[in-house]
Structure 1
Amino acid sequence: MMDLHCHVDLYPDHDIVLKDIERSHYYVLSVTTVPSAFKGTVALTKDLNNCRTALGLHPQLAHQRYNELPLFDKLCPKTRYIGEIGLDGSKGYEEHMLIQKKVLEHILKKCSEFNDKILTIHSLNAVDKVLDLLNIYPDAGRSILHWFLATKKQTDRAVELGCYFSVGPAMLNSARARKVISWLPPDKILLETDGPFTKVERRLSLPSDVTLVTRYLSDIWGKPLSHVNSVLKSNLKTLLDKHRLEHS
């Protein structure tokens, strides 16, 4: 199984999350929020064969840390994983949308120089703007829309663009999010936690908590857990297949 959106470096106790990743054997993508955090996060997870570090510049920090774009460019060849990136149109961040868009467009342009990138993307209250840019830069890589909240029309458009969707336990607590999950094609669903920014049973989420999502999918699909696990593992394999990416 997998957790494709986890802020490993931001847990207050690294030991707890690192041991969980080691015990679970799940494939974990450790996302970063600024390029300057990349090397430290790589070092933090260096002993975990099942954990990869993504290079990111979070939209909520874009107006403060856009000066790290040259560092992003320098580090980009060192990983095929990009994230957390995206746009955020929420109160307090919408006023910085212009610089957010410049940052995201820069990142997508840079990623288009390669043929193997996998991107995990934030689109809160900015879905159409994100999809517009993904449409302009189709060669940036495979996109995973993290914690996707959208209309049916927007969801259909994202599917047409070939996006994947990562679903976490915290989404199950929202009627709006559950509705979106019901619209997602099974072959485009992946798992995430967004830990440590989410909680399960009053504690910080850990990668092993994605099993809450697999049980939920089993219920709404009317399929045994073994079937759900098989589909999700197949989705991950397809996502990571470099040959498919080069010829998609």
Structure 2
Amino acid sequence: MDKVVSAPADAVADIPDAASLSVGGFGLSGVPNVLIAALHTQGATALSVVSNNCGVDGGGLGVLLAAGRIARVTGSYIGTNKEFARQYLGGELEVELVPQGTLAERLRAGGCGIPAFYTPAGVGTQVAEGGLPLRYGADGRVAVASPPKEVREFGGSAHVLEHGITTDFALVRAWKGDRHGNLVFRRAARNFNPLAAMAGRVTVAEVEHLVEPGDLDPDGVHVPGVFVQRVLPLTPTQAACKGMEKRTVRVEERG
């Protein structure tokens, strides 16, 4: 089955208002920027996003955030995104903060059909006991707080019940992909992309290099095509355009 779509607009055309999205990337590494830009143009709003973070100011998911298109974020940190912090603290955005490893496992579990699991991460904190601010009011007070979670003991240690995550759509970026949707990610850009891809009911992958079926080593495939419904091949210019969150240079040593 050929899953290739020819244009970014076609790849995201049916994403409706209030849809849930799992989005790959970590910082600005491995972020599906072309699909995010297409979704920004498409106009869907009130989106619920599951991603490690919500981009940076002016980059990644930060583009949708600044446009007021995102209503809820499930992620592991806010980072240096000032607009994210402003919307959260101002009561414009609902935010569920999740330990990073737990977020990864919740996405993987959802993709594997596992409804819930127990983990020691978060025991003895507000993650388990509840009270984390999900939404602030205009007066700066907590309007909605996270509820307590079930805790059970296994092998003499307490564990928190966490639920798997599935989303209506997933947007990911891969290094290579074939027409059947098999995906390969490269180095750090792999990050949350395979997990996000598995969690989406309709997964859209932008790929830097489109190859023909049979060209990928089966042992090297990170996400099988069964999880992917659409493949968007990038142009060389799009594939080369990658943001850098923080640029550092080596200080010249002088003798």
Report the TM-score range of the alignment, normalised by the length of the smaller protein. Answer: 0.3 to 0.5
**Relative contact order (alpha carbons < 8 A, sep ≥ 6): 1 or 2 greater?**
2
- Give TM-score scaled by structure 2 length: 0.34
Comparing both structures, which one devotes a greater share of its residues to strand?
Answer: 2
